Amino acid sequence: MKKLIVLFTLIATPAVAQDFSANSEARPWNLVAEVPARFEATVVDLLCELAGDCPANCGDGRRQLGLLRSADGVLVYPNKNSQPAFTGAAVELYPFCGQEVEVDGLMITDPELNVDNVYLVQTIRKLGDTEWTKANQWTKVWAEKNPDAEGKGPWFRRDPRVNGMIAADGYLGLGQEVDEAFIADWF
């Protein structure tokens, strides 16, 4: 009976927000709503976790991945890796699919935008490992997939798909005529 009462109490008690900033060595980005956060989690396929749509190997890198936090079962959504280059986190987490890891980075919590549990991951390590892996592999992976990308500058100036879209619809997405008028005024 005592065990049942304890179980009931645990189920009925609302989750209390925990502080995951202790021991974080995350580098600040000076974002309005950033909070350092270091925690242990399991890397999960979000579609599998939420909708039961579970292909092998987290979808072979096609899908967004989540972090199921060990301390409280909260599902954290890593939107961003550590590169200031318009790059996401799935490429960084994919090698750890299904594994228990420790991550360090920045949590975005902004009541005005009604957002919580959105994360920028800076470093990852498999639980038990001593060495951290920096979450900065995206541009290297892109370069390997796009050896013939033409032009100069960073990846986003040379990406064939992006450049194809801009060639078709312009920088504003409204067509080349609208672009021309805007550019004449903008510069």
Query: Which is nearer to another protein, 131 or 154 (by Cβ)?
Result: 154
**Least distance from C-beta 29 to another protein, angstroms?**
7
Beta bridge partners of 134: 123
Per-residue DSSP letter, 108: E
Nearer to another protein, 115 or 129 (CB): 115
Partners of 77 in the β-ladder: 118
Q: How far is the CB of 171 from another protein (least distance, A)?
A: 5
Gyration radius from the chain CA atoms: 21
State which of residues 41, 89, 103, 121 lies at the interface with another protein (CB under 8 A). 89
Confirm or reject binding of residue 79 to another protein (CB under 8 A).
Answer: yes
Restricted to residues 128-187, the positions that interact with another protein (CB under 8 A) are 138, 155-157, 159, 161-162, 165-166, 169, 171-174, 179, 182-183, 186-187
C-alpha–C-alpha distance, residues 135 and 123, integer Å: 5
Q: Residue 85 or residue 127: which is nearer to another protein going by CB?
A: 85
What DSSP line would sit under 16-67, residue for residue?
A: PP----TT--PPP---TTEEEEEEEEEEEEHHHHHH----GGGGGGTS-EEE
Q: Which of 121, 107, 139, 10 is nearest to 65 (CA)?
A: 121
- The verdict on 61 binding another protein (CB under 8 A) reads yes
Alpha carbon dihedral 109, 111, 116, 119, in 10-degree steps, equals -30
Residue ranges binding another protein (CB under 8 A):
1, 4-5, 7-8, 11-12, 29, 31-34, 46-47, 50-51, 53, 55, 59, 61-65, 74-77, 79-80, 85-91, 108, 110, 113-118, 120, 138, 155-157, 159, 161-162, 165-166, 169, 171-174, 179, 182-183, 186-187
